Amino acid sequence: MAVTVKLSDRLVSEAKRIAKVEHRSVPSQIEYYFQLALIAEQNPDLSFKLIQELLKAKSEPTSQEYKLG
């Protein structure tokens, strides 16, 4: 569900700058930051780096089960 929200110019400018570096759209960058914040708030014992790695792994396509032989 898409919703229009008002955000400060500063927040959008920062998100745009970082989104360009991270190869994300501005909305995707803001969603990514929201996910980071939500996980951090719910799991204060996790490091920032671990949360980043969890989100990275979650976004990678899942492959089929590997079969030996």
Range of weakest confidence among 6-10, 25-29, 40-44, 63-67: 63-67
Domain boundaries, the chain: 20-58
> Quick one: which of 30, 32, 19 has its CA closest to 58?
32
Examine the pLDDT at 69 and tell me if it is beyond 80: no
* Residue 59 pLDDT: 80
Alpha helix (H) ranges present in the chain?
Answer: 9-22, 26-42, 48-59
* Residue 60 pLDDT: 75
